[in-house]
Structure formats: C-alpha cells, structure tokens
Amino acid sequence: MCDTIVALGNSTANGAVLFAKNSDREPNEAHEILFVPAARHVLGDQIKCTYITIPQVEETYAVLLAKPFWIWGAEMGTNEHGVTIGNEAVFTKVGYDKKPGLIGMDFIRLSLERSRTAESALQTLIQLLEVYGQGGNCGFAHKLYYHNSYIVADPEQAWVLETAGRHWAAQKVRDVRSISNILTIDDDWDMASADLISYAEDKGWHKKREKFSFSRCYSDILYSKFADGRRRHAYTMESLQTYKGALTVRHMMRFLRSHGKADSPAYQIDKGLTGSKVCMHASFGPVRGSQTVGSMVSELQPDGLCTHWVTGTAAPCTGVFKPLWLDALPDFGKAPTGVYDQASLYWQHEMLHREVLRTYDTRLASYSDERDQLEEKFIRETEAIVGADTHRRQEHANRCLAESRQATDGWIDLARKVPPEKAKGLYALAWRQFNQRASLEIR
C-alpha cells in the first residue's frame, strides 16, 4: 500500500511544485536508488522490462528511480526534465491479467525515459496501457495482482491517472491532490477512455439513468476497504489543505512520516492486523504484510534545479531524507537484494529500524531529536547551495549521505541501550519470520 501527494506552485511557499511518495512493499523487498543515463538507440532495438520485451524508442532521457530491487521499473522517479511520477495499487472489478506483461512500475520508468513534460508522460502512460494492457505478478515473496493509479508532475503542472484494466480516467490537478489505494475520480475527469461508461453499463455496474461515477462503478469494495486507502487519502488531503499556500519540503516529509492525526490515540505499532498509516509498518499478513520501504520528496522549480530528497531506506519515521540532484548524485554504494548486507544503504538502516521496532516509542526517542537536527541541517545547507555548480552540489550530496550513514551506526548503539520489550503474539511471529528470511540477526 502507498500514498502519493502533490502541490502545485499556487499552493507552496516558494512557487515550486512539490511531490512526495511513500513506497510500501514487503519488509525484505529492499529499496534501491538507481540512476540511468540518457541514451540514443538504434531503430529496431528492444527493451526488456520486468517480464516482457517491447520496442525501444530512438532517445531516452536520464532518470532517477526509487524501486524494488528486483523490478525493472520503479515505484517513483524523476527525469532530467523534472517529470516526476509515483504510482498506487488500486483494486477494481475488472479482472487482473496474471500473464507476464507490463506492470505499473514499468509504466513509470518507460514514461520517464520518453517524456519531456507531465502531459506528454500522461499520454505515454495511456498509449502504453491501451496497447499492452497491464498484467503480471507485482509481489516479491507473495504473489499480488492489481491495477494502478498515478500522479504525474513536472515543474508547471500535475495530473492524476487512474486505471482499471485498459480503462482509465485522468484529472488535471488544480492546486493540491493525493492518491492512495482507492479510485478517487468520480465524474469530474478531464479525459477518459472512450468506453469507460459503456463498459460499466455492459457489466451492469452502471444504470443509464444514474449519475456515473468511475470510482463507484469500477472499485472492488472488499479489497479497497482492507487496503484502507480511503482513510489515508482523507488524511493527506486534509493535511495539504491545512497548509495550502505555505507548503514546503518539510511539510511533505512530515506527512510521509505520519501515523495519523495529531489528536488521534497514540499509535501502537504492534497492535492490529488490519489498518494502515501513511508511514506503514508491517505485522502479520496478509493485510499488514507490507511496510514503507522507501520515501521521496521532490521540489520541482520552474526556473531552476529540481532538488530531490530520498531516504533509500524503510520507515521514514526512523530514518533521514538525503538531498540529491540528477547532475549531482551521491554514491549509494552496493545495490541491495532481499538478504541482509551491511554494505547496502537499505540494510544498514534496516538494522536500526528493526532494533527500534522491539521497543518503538522509547528506542525511537533515544535518537529522534538528533535525527531531526541532522535533517534540518541538511535542508538549510541545501537551500544555501541550490544555485551552486555541479561539483559543489555533488560534494554536498555525498557529505549528507556519509553523515547520515555514520549517524545511523550511532543510532543503532543508542537504540540498543534501551532495554527491549519482549514482543508477543502474531506481531512477534511475523518479524521473526521476516528476519529469518533476510538472514538478519537482531541481538
């Protein structure tokens, strides 16, 4: 389960478009940050996506991908022109194609590689969907099939695209918008597939005398309910509306770390087998079988550099956002797999994350103030050099990453000084199994 949010320049403090997304996947489905340079291709070239091969285009743009390590595409990403996309799993009445095909993450990478604007990326997504459909397993250790929705943004505009099989509806964003694991477009689309209404009528989902709603007619109510996307969508929209006109990257980071409203009952991370938060934490499956494995915030400036902030790690409530630019990327080191490896950024932090989970409130409190101060330092320093040359920004991005990795080792020691509570029940069983499968030993 995931959440994606966007705010246009008319709703932000500095006029930039702000994009943010949490990627929720299985706990051992390590998150990778990958840069793919621009390239020219020969007519007739083919490109191998996650499952299938399709014709390549003549030119592809440089892209930064935040992705599950085993998937060709990405859950979120951006390109050299500032086009930025994130997707959500949505559950619909249209049957899922279980044969290998293009999956939602492949659509993101293909559209980023082929598009100079959000509108052209939207058209690329639609064309690929209508030609190839969407299909194939999207799960890592457990098979999972779903359709997709997207937020597609650039420094000037943003669109929401929601799909059900090959059927779709698109809505232009006017100020702020969020999507979650539900269809949100009713009859207020700006574009839609030609047969959107007639298909629903043929299936008996819509009667001609009734007002048509894409969300109502096409949603699978049961799966959408258990995904709990309606509650998260309501929260993120309320949060965006509350700060509209003054939104900054700090707000977006805070939204991605949220476990609910400030006046909600205290969040107990080890309680409940259903329900989910924007900052998602796994428990016993299948409903709570995933966690936030990576987070990204992008500041898309119309007349300047686009600055991106990534965790590259799970659970943003336990980690830190690091800055980068497509022309000034830090060295993230060894790519992760589904097995623990201290050399990778994801698994280094995962040791901290899983230690914190043993006594969440007190172990997180042992270093959260220090973490917040470090992240605020990164933000202030980044704001001061955003107009600097590539070399200086490259040094800054590498320094922030190095400082965060060094701090993470220290935070592991701080967390371990807090006596752990003995976890009980299905929550404890689930995490023992996650750790065993990843060959990760928690002291």
**pLDDT at 261 (0 to 100):** 67
**pLDDT at 260 (0 to 100):** 79
CA–CA separation, 236 and 239 (whole Å): 5
CA–CA separation, 244 and 13 (whole Å): 9
Query: What CATH number labels 3-328?
Result: 3.60.60.10
CA–CA separation, 96 and 99 (whole Å): 9
Q: Which of 418, 406, 415 is nearest to 374 (CA)?
A: 406
**pLDDT at 271 (0 to 100):** 80
Residues forming the active site: 2
**pLDDT at 200 (0 to 100):** 96
CA–CA separation, 440 and 135 (whole Å): 33
Instruction: Kindly state the tokens that stand for 341.
Output: 């490896």
**Total Cβ atoms within 10 A of residue 372:** 11
**pLDDT at 265 (0 to 100):** 60
DSSP string of 187-223, one letter each residue: S--SEE-TTHHHHHHHHTS--TTSPP-HHHHHB-HHH
CA–CA separation, 47 and 176 (whole Å): 35
**pLDDT at 209 (0 to 100):** 82
Q: Where are the beta strands (DSSP E) in 219-358?
A: 291-300, 307-310, 322-324
**pLDDT digit of tens for each residue in the chain (443 aa)?**
789 999 999 999 999 999 999 999 999 999 999 999 999 999 999 999 999 999 999 999 999 999 999 999 999 999 999 999 999 999 999 999 999 999 999 999 999 999 999 999 999 999 999 999 999 999 999 999 999 999 999 999 999 999 999 999 999 999 999 999 999 999 999 999 999 999 999 999 998 888 999 999 999 987 777 768 888 999 999 999 999 999 999 999 999 999 976 546 667 888 876 767 899 999 987 778 899 999 999 999 998 889 999 999 999 999 999 999 999 999 999 999 999 999 999 999 999 999 999 999 999 999 999 999 999 999 999 999 998 999 999 999 999 999 999 999 999 999 999 998 877 788 889 999 999 999 998 87
What does the mean pLDDT of the chain come to? 94
Gyration radius (Cα) of the chain, Å: 21
Domain coordinates in residue numbering, the chain: 3-328
Token match 């690929």: residue? 128
**pLDDT at 262 (0 to 100):** 56
**pLDDT at 188 (0 to 100):** 95
Contact between 85 and 158 under an 8 Å Cβ cutoff? The reply is no
CA–CA separation, 404 and 342 (whole Å): 14
CA–CA separation, 314 and 328 (whole Å): 23
191-192 vs 176-179, strand pairing mode: unpaired
**Total Cβ atoms within 10 A of residue 279:** 23
**Total Cβ atoms within 10 A of residue 37:** 10
The pTM is what? 0.96
3-state helix, strand, coil in the chain (%, to 5): 35, 25, 45
